[in-house]
Amino acid sequence: MENKITVFIAEDHKLVRDAWKLTIEKNALFSIIGEAEDGKTALDFCSNNKVDVIIMDINLKDGKSLQVIKTMLDNIPNVNIVVVSMLNVYHLVKDLYKAGIRAFLTKNSSKEELLEAITKASKKEKYFSIEISNLFLERENDAVNLLNSRELKIINLICLGLSNKEIGIEMKTSEKTVEGHKTKIYKKIKANNNIGIYEFAIKNGLIDPTS
């Protein structure tokens, strides 16, 4: 069949790579054009070859996946990227969506979801796995929506390890005002201390636990 959808795979685990290839190559619409186990190789290949869809693991061993994805989006015309991640962290999905990726899957996604994501991406359409879609639906009704921008800023500073006094200096307000904001935050998210705030922030994608 002519005009197959060409697919490039960037994944550092050979077993996973081979499993994806097996699934993709069973479909007559697709053709694997290349593969890589690190971001640099993926970027070099996709910058110099026409690729319809790039499947990119977010945690490649060289640690440059996010940087490579954003470089591809900025410099490769009409690039279509399907991101795959072990993590279904809200802030990560949201940031990459805004940056311009076509699809987002987790390692729990089914073979059918993988093929659907490739198909949608090749048509420049968006696709999110069931797990990612549910993450967004849950987020619409959670306690995060009760927090104002100032409270979200304080949560971020708490997670960075700043004291009430240091937060006050950073936000140009008094330590007592910060304590008042924290009391309101505790009530809204049902936390009792800074540990509870940190756990809430990770769960809801307000901070990156890997940074």
**Per-residue confidence (pLDDT) for residue 98, from 0 to 100:** 84
Task: Supply angle C-alpha 60, 65, 153, rounded to 5.
Answer: 120
Residue 76, pLDDT > 90, answer yes
Distance from the Cα of residue 177 to its chain's centroid: 34
| Class of the CATH domain delimited by 5-139 | alpha beta
pLDDT at 206 over 90: no
**Residue 25: band (very low, low, confident or very high) from pLDDT cuts 50, 70, 90:** very high
Task: Please give the model's pTM, rounded to 2 decimal places.
Answer: 0.68
- Can you tell me the distance from the alpha carbon of 37 to that of 126, in angstroms, rounded to the nearest whole number? 25
What percentage of the chain exceeds 70 in pLDDT? 94
Q: Given 3.40.50.720, 1.10.3720.10, 3.40.50.300, 1.10.10.10, which CATH number is that of 143-203?
A: 1.10.10.10
d(CA 172, CA 112): 52
Task: Please check the confidence at residue 203 and state whether its pLDDT lies above 90.
Answer: no
Residue 140: predicted pLDDT: 53
Task: Give the tens place of pLDDT for each residue, 88-111.
Answer: 677 778 788 888 999 999 988 999
Q: DSSP E strands: which ranges in 37-193?
A: 53-57, 81-85, 103-106, 127-128
In the chain, where the domains are located: 5-139, 143-203
**pLDDT computed for residue 86 by the predictor:** 82
Average pLDDT rounded to a whole number, residues 71-80: 94
Residue 149: the pLDDT is 85
pLDDT score of 4: 93
Q: Phi, psi at residue 12, to the nearest 5°?
A: -90, -5
Mean pLDDT of the chain: 90
Higher pLDDT residue, 134 or 162? 162
pLDDT tens-digit readout, 115-158: 999 999 999 999 999 888 887 766 655 677 788 889 999 999 99
> For the chain, how are helix, strand and coil distributed in percent, rounded to 5?
55, 15, 35
More confident residue, 168 or 207: 168
Instruction: State yes or no: pLDDT of 55 exceeds 70.
Output: yes
More confident residue, 52 or 204: 52
